[in-house]
Amino acid sequence: MDMQAVRSVLLDEARELLVELEQNLLAIESAGADPERINALFRAAHTLKGSSGMFNLHLVVDFTHLMENLLVRVRNGEQAIDGPLVSLLLGCGDYLSRLFDEVAEGRDDSDPDPRERARLCAALNDYLGGAADSAAPAASATPASAGLQRWRISLRPEPQVLSYGLDPLAFIQYLTDKGELLSLQILDEQLPALAELDPESCYLGFVLELRTQASRESLEQALEFIAQDCAIELECLDPPPSAAQGGAPAERQAEG
């Protein structure tokens, strides 16, 4: 896998999403909000956050996370999207465009305008009520126990994965951001003797148990960039409540 090509795809997608974000905001400003446009705004912020997390673009992830939290409230009808909010989100899109300009130049941790970032974050937090946990995942707005399931996730990267610029630990960190890490096991049965060890090869595998509200599809998307060079197994350890009551469906879920 050519990681430069993957980053190029990420940047192209980010540009397209930012254009889509601006177009939908301008349409809302001129014609009013509707569920389709609001959902498109949320999807743009959510996708930008998720794909950026794959490359540890923390400045993008943290910023879009605030946007996502606010757009969750808009989508749930808890916050009206009026002129001032449209203007704020347009400003957020402009700032993100400049942030991705930095990423395109290889300056992943460079903030093009710290003062503007601080102003926008403060405004987003004002809409969120200044909650101390405004950087927490948007799903935390629901009860902690709602929809939680335990997943057993096995990652066995190919030896050459490091040479492609893919760090398995970054993907593990991204997964843990989606929920609570209950356990992490390191598989080292393929680790050679020290004299035979190639520092550019990956010999370790990982098995983690995660409690999360994320769906199987969401977990698979979190790992899509490494899937070509890593054997991945996902097993849901907690069947859905309806399956648990029925007995037989729970067995089928565990097998699936």
The correct CATH number of 3-137 out of 3.65.10.10, 1.10.10.10, 1.20.120.160, 3.30.420.10 is 1.20.120.160
Residue 121 has pLDDT above 70, yes or no: yes
Report the pLDDT value the prediction gives residue 38, as an integer from 0 to 100. Answer: 93
Helices (H), the chain: 3-31, 35-53, 58-75, 83-104, 114-127, 168-176, 216-222, 241-246, 248-255
Question: Of 2-6, 35-39, 225-229, where does mean pLDDT reach its minimum?
Answer: 2-6
CB atoms within 10 A of CB 158: 17
Judged by average pLDDT, the poorest of 59-63, 138-142, 211-215, 234-238 is: 138-142
* Torsion sign over Cα 48, 53, 57, 59: positive
pLDDT of 242: 53
Which pair of tokens denotes residue 109?
Answer: 């941790």
Question: pLDDT class for 146, splitting at 50, 70, 90?
Answer: low
> Residue 213: how many CB atoms within 10 A of its CB?
17
**Residue 62 identity:** D
Note the Cα 242 to chain centre separation in Å: 28
pTM: 0.58
SS3 (DSSP) at 187: strand
In tens, the pLDDT along 156-192 reads: 999 988 777 677 877 787 787 778 888 888 888 888 8
pLDDT value of residue 249: 42
pLDDT tens for 13-67 read 899 999 999 999 999 999 999 999 999 998 899 888 877 876 778 899 889 989 9
Tell me the domain boundaries of the chain.
3-137, 149-255
Q: What order do you get walking across the sheet with 179-187 strand by strand?
A: 179-187, 205-212, 149-157, 230-236
Q: What is the mean pLDDT of the chain?
A: 82
Q: Is the pLDDT of residue 134 over 60?
A: no
pLDDT confidence of residue 232:
93
| Cβ contact 249:239 at 8 Å | yes
Q: Please tell me the distance from the alpha carbon of residue 130 to that of residue 70, in angstroms, as a whole number.
A: 11
CA–CA distance, 185 with 70 (Å, rounded to integer): 36
What is the C-alpha separation between 212 and 219, in angstroms, rounded? 10
In this predicted structure, what is the pLDDT of residue 60? 92
> For the packed helices 114-127 and 83-104, what is the interaxial angle rounded to 10 degrees?
140
Beta-carbon contacts of residue 64 (< 8 Å; ≥ 6 apart): 45, 46, 48, 49, 52, 96
For the 149-255 domain, the top CATH level (class) is alpha beta
- Phi first, then psi: give them for residue 22, nearest 5 degrees: -65, -45
Q: What is the DSSP string of 127-155?
A: HTTT-TTTTS-GGGGS-TTTT-EEEEEEE
